A and B are shown apart, each in its own frame.
Chain A
Amino acid sequence: MNASVSWLSAFVDAGKSANELRDLLTAHTATVEEVVTLRADLAPIVVARVVEEAAHPDSDHLHVTKVDMGTGELLDVVCGAPNVAAGKLYPFAPTGTLLPNGIRIEKRKIRGQTSNGMLCSARELGLGDEHDGIMELDVDVAPGTHFLDAVPIGDKRLVIDVLPNRPDLLSHLGVAREVAAITGVALTLPDIGVSDIVVPEARRFRRAGNAGGIVMHLEDTRLASRYMGVVIRGVSVGPSPQWLVDRLAAIGARAINNVVDASNYVLHELGQPTHAFDLNKVDPLPKMPERTIVIRSAKDGESILTLDGVTRTLTSDVTVIADSMHPIAIAGVMGGRETEVDAATTDIFVEVANFDPSRTRRTRRAVGLSTDASYRFERGVDIALAPRALERVAALILSLAGGEITSPPVDLYAGDLPHTAIVLRVERVARVIGIPIEGERIAALLRSIGCMADVDDRGAAVHVVPPSWRRDLRIDADLIEDIARLHGYDALPDEIRPYRPGTSSDAPLWTLAARLRDALSAAGLFEARPTPFVAGDASHVRVLNPLAESEGHLRQTLLETLATRAEYNLSHMQRNVRLYEVGAAFAPGADALPDETMRVALLVMGDRDPAHFTNAKPSQFDEWDAKGLAEVVVRAVGVEQWSLERSHEGGDLLWTIVVDGAARGHVSRVRLDAPVWASPAFGVEFVLRAVSNGDVAPPGEHAHDEPVPPPPRTPEKYRPLPTTPASEFDLALLLPAGVSAAEVERVIRMAAGELLERLAAFDVYEGVGVDAGHRSVAWRLTLRHPERTLRDKEIEGRRAKILSALTSELNVRQRST
């Protein structure tokens, strides 16, 4: 909403500057996003005093002056105006100024005398036609003051962010009401010279009525809850007076002609859209004695040429104003070209309607056109405003364009709904706002915004009937908001009051995600937060209305989007990628809602370590790094029983992460659209848990009585540290083809029994000295007895037992040295 400060002042003369109004409205009503200085082209002009004045030596009409523009030095200025006089103040354009008429003021010599700037006339400043002389200023300001600050010329525009619950603020009347409520200054309708004009009172009908030569017919009250019209005959269409042109310009609208401008003026003054039709073009060939105007749904395929020159084909979603033949306006959006008021128009039909908000939204969408009118109808126009607006617009047209009203206006309206008072408990107000406010103060605040408010006998409750323009005030909470904002949010104390702890503890997934982020950041990876959209295919969850087909589905796995991010890095010549994410993935579900899971995933490629002169060619991330990171993940998650099962499928899958017998994730090679210089990429993905998107409880109910399981906790328990020495020995073993390290380890563990403290493979060798098809793998075993030192004989016995078990079970023998 654009509001002109001078227009607001015509409603409520609160004596506030634009910035003061901005701060008051922002603090109490709606945010003023910006204060726009109009006539910014006059910003360089300053007020200057002519200190000395003398006739130009070489001219009979020029004057040579010394001018004080507040800089401390006097400027030589040559001036041709007859009225220049020493001691007086004038608008002054210093050198460098670009005047509104396009002339740039430069330092120059005029008949031998230097002139540093120009004293200006009203016309030179674009302030009228006056050019008999320079503009003498009768103001009490110091030289150097900006002209716009000294003279009430530059109106300012408040750009107000009006939220959907306050359509009443979409007019100067509405904003002025708030200013009046906040400042306590009385509100009056601006004097636009129509106080003597009498507009006959409207006659009310339910669905149809004759407005004097035209029959109005409202086909369905769901399209418009009120439809008023008046015929004015004998108007002369012409340009609007300057005050009206200025008013419209101040809010960014362009003047067109006196009839259209009157309609536009009333829209911005009162918030009521109105529309004038050229009566003689409505139903030019009436079948009945009277012309007809109908408010109805459009028929599919009907079309209309609107005022913006576009022919629009309509659907039944659209409400139209039609004559007996075809649509002549799109209701609440825009009029038609065929019935446009132009210079030849003499008789007009003025419509003042209240179109249904959601129907207007559908209409606006169907035709793809938003206007000042549709914007207001969609948000809701005060139902009681139509008669006032009709009187205002009719009077203004009569005053500007002449003509006469020969037949009373018609008001198609079912009548006001009965008011029911909202009972507002004073105690409740205190409880919600947090400070006690007396009943009388509550009533006064609410009255200031137009409510009827009566405090009951005991002072415990206020009975409130909101005004017709505040349909958003329905329950006590709505009223409490207005009380709080009018009292002032900033006037409330900032004291933190005692509170009770909540009944919920941290979501286990949150704690888990934090642990994973710490572990993976410590492992040298960076957290990514990509969006979950992928091109995808039928196996993915589809977005019904995606922004682009390339983002038409939701990822099923996090690695899908991490792979894209790796490719992004490769495309920016970044070959070292180490990314992880904790996020959601989606799979098609049993109904419209997908199955959502929370996961962790990571992707690594490139150098395992940062380049260093001791390691000129760092090794690259490989399967073993990925496996290790998978173990970092599983340990951070803290599951009890897990294993990494090697994949037998071949392909990119390396290991499956199995938890409690079920596959929960995997380690794999990641195929990328990668340049030749890129290293192989490896990924890990692990499902943390399913996220329920089902109902916690049916609407209106809760599930407070259902027990909430406490988050699982499995702290490591202390085991006594060893006090006895350990014994170590190595086994270099020959593994025939097909025997895995895991099998060997299993046999070793079985045979070694409880004494085996640690088992670690430390070398793998294939080649000279090892039979073809065999691998030599060396393990180091650490044995320890918890209570005593192991004897050599015991260790030797264990070693023999292990070797014998390996030979018999796996045909694995010791490698001969």
Chain B
Amino acid sequence: MLSDTPTLEEYLAYAADLTARGAAAFTAAADEDALETARIQFLGDKRGELLLLQRALGALPADSRRDAGRAFNDAKTRLTTTHDERQLTVRHATTRAPHLDLTMPARHRWQGAKHPVTVVIDEIVGIFRELGFTVALGPESESEWYNFGALNFPPDHPALDMHDTLYLGEGALLRTHTSPVQVRTLQRYAPPIRILAPGTAFRRDPFDASHAPAFAQIEGLAVDEGISFVDLKATLTHFAQRFFGKTRTRFRPSHFPFTEPSAEMDVECRLCGGAGCSACKGTGWMEILGSGLVHPSVLEAAGVDSERYTGWAFGMGPARIAMLRYDLPDIRLLYDSDMRFLQQVAE
């Protein structure tokens, strides 16, 4: 203990002794309780030894107070620091108590995801975007003119039949393909045109394993001076190799009212790699998209000079590609919105 009227030497010696004892007590404290006991002894607000040391400052002669004050401050800093450091250590040790079984599972937040068809569309859009294409959209409810007439369908074409197309009224229907967006875009924007049109199309097909009355489609259109079949073939071949990885492609003659020449593009069968299997009926090929050069009468219907401008277009079904990619046996999985399915295929 310090006397009531200590000399400076006594004070300094006592301060050093107190510091040493306090630091030792803090360091020795094994847990938070022991540390708290030591804290009260040395740093307590009411009877802590440091407090007593501070009070003793007043009993010193005036000329000694400066040196004594510095010693007090050193002691306080040293003790506080030692205590705080020890506290961190002790607390850490407490939280790593052996009862924490680290094999227990992590805590998660719900994870959401885009629909697999959207994922496929986004990927297709991404590849064409590198080639200068932007996205255009159009209405799902369409006039007969945009859906058929402007696309060079003759008035007695079977597609216009009530049997195949869902009608909403006289001359109004649910679009049977995304191709009306071609006409709307050509009317709206002057060439050069480079667009992709993803969207929903409708057919009067009842749901079965491979048909849906509403389904995703994606359309592409490039119109400018000097656009040729070579551009079509090269661009779509590039796309196929980016999308499917290294694959051979082939183009077959086909027929659509709104393209001439028309061609369908196949890639090597995804299942057998081109060797021929039951899925591809032994041909080794799988049809991926329909395409062709825009029929001059489609350009003219949209007020575009078909002598000056030429163009190509394609259409494909992202749902079918999603079925291939995720190995889906039934297209209805894509429309049921079953949480279990959506979680399973989330990317």
B95 interface residue (CB < 8 Å to A)? no
Instruction: Say whether B339 contacts A578, CB under 8 Å.
Output: yes
A344 interface residue (CB < 8 Å to B)? no
- Select the residue from A493, A543, A586, A708 with max chain B CB neighbours within 10 A: A543
A517 interface residue (CB < 8 Å to B)? yes
Instruction: Say whether B168 contacts A594, CB under 8 Å.
Output: yes
B255 interface residue (CB < 8 Å to A)? yes
Q: Which of B158, B204, B231 contacts A499 (CB 8 A)?
A: B231
Question: CA–CA, A622 to B279, complex, Å?
Answer: 48
Name the A residues within 8 Å of B138 (CB-CB): 691
Query: Closest Cβ of chain B: how far from A502's Cβ, in Å?
Result: 4
Question: CA–CA, A487 to B238, complex, Å?
Answer: 22
Query: Closest Cβ of chain A: how far from B193's Cβ, in Å?
Result: 5
Instruction: Say whether B167 contacts A543, CB under 8 Å.
Output: yes
Query: Closest Cβ of chain A: how far from B343's Cβ, in Å?
Result: 7
**Residue of chain B at shortest CB distance from A359:** B156
Query: Closest Cβ of chain A: how far from B286's Cβ, in Å?
Result: 12
Instruction: Say whether B293 contacts A432, CB under 8 Å.
Output: yes
| Stretch binding the partner chain, chosen from B12-20, B80-88, B109-117 | B109-117
Instruction: Say whether B213 contacts A531, CB under 8 Å.
Output: yes
Instruction: Say whether A502 contacts B140, CB under 8 Å.
Output: no
Instruction: Say whether A527 contacts B261, CB under 8 Å.
Output: no
Instruction: Say whether A565 contacts B187, CB under 8 Å.
Output: no
B300 interface residue (CB < 8 Å to A)? yes
B317 interface residue (CB < 8 Å to A)? no
B144-183 vs A, Cβ < 8 Å mask (1 yes, 0 no): 0110011000001010001000111111101000000001
Query: Closest Cβ of chain B: how far from A473's Cβ, in Å?
Result: 11
B217 interface residue (CB < 8 Å to A)? no
Name the B residues within 8 Å of A574 (CB-CB): 338-340
Question: CA–CA, A503 to B223, complex, Å?
Answer: 11
Q: Which of B107, B145, B342 contacts A699 (CB 8 A)?
A: B145
Please judge, given known A-B contacts A525-B112, A533-B214, whether A697 and B168 are in contact too, CB under 8 Å. Answer: no
Between A and B, how many residue pairs show CB distances below 8 Å? 308
B301 interface residue (CB < 8 Å to A)? yes
Please judge, given known A-B contacts A34-B282, A524-B110, whether A495 and B338 are in contact too, CB under 8 Å. Answer: no
A809 interface residue (CB < 8 Å to B)? no
Instruction: Say whether A527 contacts B143, CB under 8 Å.
Output: no
Instruction: Say whether B251 contacts A504, CB under 8 Å.
Output: no
Question: CA–CA, A551 to B191, complex, Å?
Answer: 40
Query: Closest Cβ of chain B: how far from A483's Cβ, in Å?
Result: 9
Within 8 A of B (CB), among A348-365: 357-358, 361
Query: Closest Cβ of chain A: how far from B153's Cβ, in Å?
Result: 11
A308 interface residue (CB < 8 Å to B)? no
Name the A residues within 8 Å of B264 (CB-CB): 31
Query: Closest Cβ of chain B: how far from A698's Cβ, in Å?
Result: 9
Query: Closest Cβ of chain B: how far from A15's Cβ, in Å?
Result: 22
B270 interface residue (CB < 8 Å to A)? no
**Residue of chain A at shortest CB distance from B169:** A592
**Residue of chain A at shortest CB distance from B119:** A527
B233 interface residue (CB < 8 Å to A)? yes
Question: CA–CA, A51 to B136, complex, Å?
Answer: 74
Question: CA–CA, A296 to B172, complex, Å?
Answer: 35
- Is the interface on chain A under 10, 10 to 19, 20 to 34, or 35 or more residues? 35 or more
Please judge, given known A-B contacts A526-B339, A526-B346, whether A703 and B136 are in contact too, CB under 8 Å. Answer: no
Instruction: Say whether A586 contacts B141, CB under 8 Å.
Output: yes
**Residue of chain A at shortest CB distance from B334:** A529
Instruction: Say whether A27 contacts B228, CB under 8 Å.
Output: no
Instruction: Say whether B231 contacts A572, CB under 8 Å.
Output: no
Name the A residues within 8 Å of B168 (CB-CB): 541-544, 554, 592-594
B263 interface residue (CB < 8 Å to A)? yes
Instruction: Say whether B230 contacts A499, CB under 8 Å.
Output: no
- Select the residue from B222, B228, B234, B252 with max chain A CB neighbours within 10 A: B252
Question: CA–CA, A574 to B226, complex, Å?
Answer: 56
- Select the residue from B112, B122, B156, B254 with max chain A CB neighbours within 10 A: B112
Instruction: Say whether B214 contacts A527, CB under 8 Å.
Output: no
Question: CA–CA, A584 to B342, complex, Å?
Answer: 21
Question: CA–CA, A485 to B233, complex, Å?
Answer: 13
Within 8 A of A (CB), among B101-148: 104-105, 107-115, 117-118, 122, 131-143, 145-146
Please judge, given known A-B contacts A27-B250, A478-B260, A529-B334, whether A510 and B133 are in contact too, CB under 8 Å. Answer: no
Instruction: Say whether B214 contacts A532, CB under 8 Å.
Output: yes
Query: Closest Cβ of chain B: how far from A336's Cβ, in Å?
Result: 27
A793 interface residue (CB < 8 Å to B)? no
Query: Closest Cβ of chain A: how far from B323's Cβ, in Å?
Result: 14
| Stretch binding the partner chain, chosen from A91-99, A160-168, A214-222, A757-765 | A160-168
Within 8 A of A (CB), among B195-226: 195, 198, 200, 204-206, 212-214, 216, 222, 224, 226
Name the B residues within 8 Å of A677 (CB-CB): none
Question: CA–CA, A596 to B143, complex, Å?
Answer: 13
Name the A residues within 8 Å of B136 (CB-CB): 504, 507
Instruction: Say whether B141 contacts A484, CB under 8 Å.
Output: no
Query: Closest Cβ of chain A: how far from B336's Cβ, in Å?
Result: 6
Question: CA–CA, A523 to B114, complex, Å?
Answer: 12
Within 8 A of B (CB), among A568-615: 568-569, 572, 574, 576-580, 583-584, 586, 591-594, 596, 609-610, 612-615
B326 interface residue (CB < 8 Å to A)? no
Query: Closest Cβ of chain A: how far from B294's Cβ, in Å?
Result: 10
A681-703 vs B, Cβ < 8 Å mask (1 yes, 0 no): 00000000001110111011111
Q: Which of A492, A525, A541 contacts B230 (CB 8 A)?
A: A492
Instruction: Say whether B113 contacts A431, CB under 8 Å.
Output: no
A489 interface residue (CB < 8 Å to B)? yes
Instruction: Say whether B132 contacts A502, CB under 8 Å.
Output: yes
Question: CA–CA, A700 to B187, complex, Å?
Answer: 9
Instruction: Say whether A700 contacts B194, CB under 8 Å.
Output: no
Query: Closest Cβ of chain B: how far from A529's Cβ, in Å?
Result: 5
Question: CA–CA, A27 to B253, complex, Å?
Answer: 7
A494 interface residue (CB < 8 Å to B)? yes
A747 interface residue (CB < 8 Å to B)? no
B5 interface residue (CB < 8 Å to A)? no
A506 interface residue (CB < 8 Å to B)? yes
Please judge, given known A-B contacts A361-B156, A505-B134, whether A431 and B255 are in contact too, CB under 8 Å. Answer: no
| Stretch binding the partner chain, chosen from B23-31, B42-50, B54-62, B302-310 | B302-310
Please judge, given known A-B contacts A431-B310, A542-B168, whether A484 and B300 are in contact too, CB under 8 Å. Answer: no
Instruction: Say whether B303 contacts A697, CB under 8 Å.
Output: yes
Question: CA–CA, A447 to B183, complex, Å?
Answer: 35
Name the B residues within 8 Å of A461 (CB-CB): none
Name the B residues within 8 Å of A422 (CB-CB): none
Question: CA–CA, A447 to B141, complex, Å?
Answer: 45
Please judge, given known A-B contacts A529-B117, A700-B301, whether A693 and B139 are in contact too, CB under 8 Å. Answer: yes
B246 interface residue (CB < 8 Å to A)? no
Instruction: Say whether A496 contacts B238, CB under 8 Å.
Output: yes
Q: Which of B115, B253, B339 contacts A481 (CB 8 A)?
A: B253
A153 interface residue (CB < 8 Å to B)? no
A514-529 vs B, Cβ < 8 Å mask (1 yes, 0 no): 1001001111111111
Name the A residues within 8 Å of B141 (CB-CB): 541, 554, 584, 586, 593-594, 596, 693
Instruction: Say whether B230 contacts A434, CB under 8 Å.
Output: yes
Query: Closest Cβ of chain B: how far from A645's Cβ, in Å?
Result: 28
A741 interface residue (CB < 8 Å to B)? no
Q: Which of A166, A489, A493, A596 contacts B251 (CB 8 A)?
A: A489
Q: Which 6 residue pairs of A and B lie closest in terms of their CB atoms, listed nearest first?
A: A592-B169, A434-B230, A434-B228, A524-B110, A702-B303, A481-B261
5 other A-B residue contacts (CB within 8 Å) besides A569-B338, A594-B141: A507-B136, A510-B137, A522-B112, A525-B110, A696-B187
**Which A residues contact B (CB, under 8 angstroms)?**
22, 26-31, 33-35, 163-166, 357-358, 361, 431-435, 475, 477-478, 480-481, 484-485, 489-490, 492-497, 499-507, 509-510, 514, 517, 520-533, 541-548, 551, 554, 565, 568-569, 572, 574, 576-580, 583-584, 586, 591-594, 596, 609-610, 612-615, 691-693, 695-697, 699-704, 708
Q: What are 15 inter-chain pairs, A to B, with CB distance below 8 A?
A: A164-B158, A433-B229, A480-B260, A484-B261, A490-B250, A493-B233, A497-B230, A502-B192, A506-B134, A507-B136, A517-B118, A526-B112, A544-B166, A704-B303, A708-B189
